[in-house]
Amino acid sequence: MNTHDKVRKIIDEPMQHLSWGHLSWLVGAKQMPGAEQTMGVVTIYPGKRNALHKHPNCEELLYVVSGECDHKLGDEIFHLTPGSVICIPRGVPHWARCTSAESLVAVISFSSPDRQTDTLEGDEAS
């Protein structure tokens, strides 16, 4: 990656809209060729959750910026509040449900530039 490719100004980044919220991808193989990680921002609407899923090729870190959620990680549930961070090991099924009146906003980071996701149930929130 040359010096010019290491800086990317995020302006009007297209969002991936889903029934439970939206994702904005900031860094990854597509957004910044040569990057060795993936980073984005996830928003989950109040009372909604993303589908149970796992990442077979990378670890994930999720840092809560605002809002609150219950995060299912394997067989355990953790309550996350602003300033909380959770490490999701490669291959472990997980989901996050927004439990606050405001949307959950979290920074998500993956240890691979081509994050893979195996969805284990439908896209709809439960």
Residue 8 inside a domain? The answer is: no
pLDDT tens digit sequence for 36-91:
999 999 999 999 999 999 999 999 999 999 999 999 999 999 999 999 999 999 99
What's residue 32's pLDDT? 85
pLDDT mean across residues, the chain: 90
Count: domains in the chain: 1
Half-sphere exposure of 87 (CA within 13 A, CB side): 3
4 lies in some domain: no
Residue 7's region, left for phi above 0, alpha for psi from -120 to 50, else beta, is beta
pLDDT at 16 over 80: yes
Q: For 9-35, what is the mean pLDDT?
A: 84
What is residue 124's predicted lDDT score, i.e. its pLDDT?
A: 55
Q: What span, in angstroms and rounded, lies between the C-alpha atoms of 86 and 94? A: 11
Question: What was the pLDDT predicted at 30?
Answer: 87
Residue 1: what pLDDT? 47
| pLDDT for 9 | 58
Q: Does the residue 91 lie in any domain?
A: yes
Structural domain of 49: 14-118
CATH number at 96 reads 2.60.120.10
